[in-house]
Amino acid sequence: MSHDPAITFRYAAPHEVETIRAIEFEAGLRFVGVGMTGIADAQPMAREVVERKIEAREIIVALDQQEICVGFLMFEPQPTRIYVQELDVLTSHAGRRIGAALIEEVARIARARKLTQLMLSTYRDVPWNAPYYRRLGFRDLTTAELDASLLARRDAHIARGLDESKRVFMQRDLG
């Protein structure tokens, strides 16, 4: 199944900082429905973080026919892979495979850079988290499979107050 053909993708532009922060905030509100109010109450990413990621060309946005940003994917290039840091789509645009298309966009970028994997960390049991990514070709990693970089990321998550017992690292190999 393909994504909505009316949606286009490009790197985020400096004028989209507040739009990206608003989409992140709105997406976090979905967690109220699964009893995760801490995420819903969280402040969006700091403006400076978004500005830095835009400048580094590490945020891809999804635009509707009116050129309005309806979703984004923020990533971190690493030596052999791209780490997907965040993927959010406006609730009003859910179910159109925009998230899946954003994953395909970052996979295209990874392949062009000769990188072999996409990696992410997400909630194991939230329907639009790990179960969703499994449908997109990601597989769960065991603790034994986590390298030093991922272990450090897990420690940073714990330091931020995330319950890592409810989370999973996932990997998608790029052929």
43-64 per-position pLDDT tens digit: 778 899 999 999 999 999 999 9
* CB atoms closer than 10 angstroms to residue 161: 8
pLDDT value at residue 26: 85
- The whole-model pTM stands at 0.90
84-138 per-position pLDDT tens digit: 999 999 989 988 899 999 999 999 999 999 999 999 998 888 877 888 999 999 9
Domain ranges in the chain?
A: 8-173
Asked if the 8-173 domain carries CATH number 3.30.70.1530, the reply is no
Q: What is the mean pLDDT of residues 37-45?
A: 65
